Structure 1
């Protein structure tokens, strides 16, 4: 089985910003992304949870993008420009995929 190196970008940010992020990813021709709710965590300002929130105002989401290394900067720079104005983090890691044509 042939394996292929790719880059994984994980973006955790405020749920109200999600539409702007996914619109940006679509404009950047990202081949796909996954969005998951974030239930809680602990960060710079302490422990938090979305339990009991009446709206998405305080909620967080996680968006995962897998891309070829040659596309990394073209995706990462505008994503970070958006995220740095809000509560959120961006991480990049190395991953291996089986179906290279998808990324």
Structure 2
């Protein structure tokens, strides 16, 4: 049987202009990696939105997986800009194979 371990999956929705700030926070939390995916559109409290390359407000989803202590370190680091910069951070438990990689 394959062994799994519990890790936190963290997703951060942010304006593309903030990617460097988010990935630097991931690095400071000593999380080993991240993935960035463009986001084309969505709907939230303020209604529908679409990417806007002309205005520079296109959005990305930054995904990472980490042990709980590192995930909490990242969340604490990002917390001050969640509201001021309109970021959305979510995390939940996931089971991963080869847990030593995360």
TM-score scaled by structure 2?
0.89
Aligned pair count? 101
CA RMSD of aligned residues (A): 1.5
1:13/1:83 contact within 8 Å kept: no
Task: Give 2:83's aligned residue.
Answer: 84
Structure 2: distance between partners of 1:99 and 1:3: 7
Question: Moved runs in structure 1, 4+ residues, more than 3 A?
Answer: none
Task: Give 2:54's aligned residue.
Answer: 54
Task: Give 1:93's aligned residue.
Answer: 92
Which ranges in structure 1 are unaligned for 5 or more consecutive residues?
none
SS of the residue 2:30 aligns to:
coil
Which ranges in structure 2 are unaligned for 5 or more consecutive residues?
none
Residue pairs, 1:1-103, within 5 angstroms: 1-50=2-51, 53-54=53-54, 57-103=56-102
1:21/1:82 contact within 8 Å kept: no
CA offset digits 1:34-89 (Å, max 9, x no partner): 11001100011101111x6325x110110011111232221211022233321221
